[in-house]
Amino acid sequence: MKVEFFRHSIAGDDKRELRKVLDSLFLTSGEWTKQFEERLAAYLGARAAVGLTSCTHALELALRYFHIGLGDEVITTPLSFIATANVIEYTGARPVFVDVEKESGNIDAQLVERSVTARTKAILPVHLYGQMCDMQALRAIARRHRLKIIEDAAHCLEGARDGVRVGEFADAACFSFYATKSITSGEGGAISTNDRRAAAWFAKARLHGMSTGASERYAVRYQHYDMEFLGFKCNMSNILAALLIHQLARIAGSLKRRNVIAKTYSKGFQSNPAIRLLNVLPRSKHARHLFTILVDPSRRDAYLHQLQDAGVGVAVNFRAIHLMKYYREKYGYRRGDFPISERIGDSTISLPLYPRLRDKEVAYVIAAVNRIIRR
Ligand SMILES: *Cc1c(COP(=O)(O)O)cnc(C)c1O
């Protein structure tokens, strides 16, 4: 058997919607983009959402809107995809890493406050694997020190914790629709906010700071555009939006299935002493983006290959960012600087988790993992 690490869930509805775009006039940002943005904002309970081409761009736009740049510091986690730290680098600011909690892999709110300096401008938490960070604690720190909060919610469209929805306590929250994310258009992203002025800026910043987009310029009679500020080029097209509209509508069913699979995995591994699982906190709605197991770090890479040889698709999310060559060389980071992130980064293996995964595939993965990963 071959169990793919990920298979998307593009269905008939999505293909029909895409066909409508292809048969229409505007392939670039237009009616479908707008419709997706409205539905995403409604789903999140946010005032506004703006469609982009990636979460990376969403994070960068948020930092730029808050004038974060040279001489500033942004506190974030080393246990994430590199994009999280890279966007801080783009602006000229310095990423200040804070280690994570052993039980959840999320940024340790207790350690965040100790890393605040006069230069700190923002906190950039990541809701790792789909479980939210302690936003109550992070918001209290942000208020005490007048910091912005920009959530990297690439894993966490569906998440909530302690009654707080993803993005609710943030100045902006950033989402990804990259190829392996829970809803996907191959590439894609969005930013949500409750600040209407920020939303209006994001909508222009995604298109060079232009006053009108193509579908507005040509809607009635030609209108000249002005360029109000130096923007970027990362607007979500109708093509991407069409693929996402119905996936968003199906998201509860998708999460339900991912929850069933995650529970089956947890049960399947619970009596294996060579496997540790991260905790699911009480009062937390886990978005179940990734299912990871933690194994002996000295054997992790061998296990990866053995699992692949057994036909099980695997991934590593993530090796700690501060140990990447660029960050080691630029900032002099060394092994031992953030021991918990390093430990999780060296021990983690991600297993297949998506709605199309069949029960017999789940059983196959459990059997293969328990056969290969032993004391
Ligand atoms: C996927 C991912 C990103 C980047 O998303 P893109 O849409 O590919 O730019 C950022 N942060 C995390 C935690 C991710 O997993």
Segment 255-274, tens digit of pLDDT: 999 999 999 999 999 999 99
Residue 3 reports pLDDT greater than 80: yes
137-158 confidence digits (pLDDT tens): 999 999 999 999 999 999 999 9
Place of tokens 């298979």: 7
Residue 103 reports pLDDT greater than 90: yes
pLDDT of residue 102: 98
Atom of ligand 1 nearest to the CA of 289: 15
Residue 215 reports pLDDT greater than 80: no
Say if CB 371 and CB 274 are below 8 A apart: no
**Rounded distance from Cα 158 to ligand 1 centre (Å):** 16
CA distance 281 to 356: 26
**Rounded distance from Cα 174 to ligand 1 centre (Å):** 9
**Rounded distance from Cα 173 to ligand 1 centre (Å):** 12
Measure Cα distances from 149 to 140, 145, 256 in Å.
Answer: 11, 11, 29
38-79 confidence digits (pLDDT tens): 999 999 999 999 999 999 999 999 999 999 999 999 999 999
Give the residue from 96, 185, 181 showing the smallest Cα distance to 145: 96
- Please indicate whether residue 129, judged by its CB atom, sits closer than 6 Å to ligand 1: no
- The pTM assigned to this predicted structure is 0.97
Indicate the length of the chain as a whole number.
375
Say if CB 62 and CB 171 are below 8 A apart: yes
pLDDT of residue 238: 98
pLDDT of residue 316: 98
Give the residue from 278, 281, 276, 41 showing the smallest Cα distance to 137: 281
pLDDT of residue 149: 98
As a whole number, the mean pLDDT across the chain is 97
- Please indicate whether residue 234, judged by its CB atom, sits closer than 6 Å to ligand 1: no
Place of tokens 């960068």: 60
pLDDT of residue 222: 86
**The two structure tokens encoding residue 195:** 């600040």
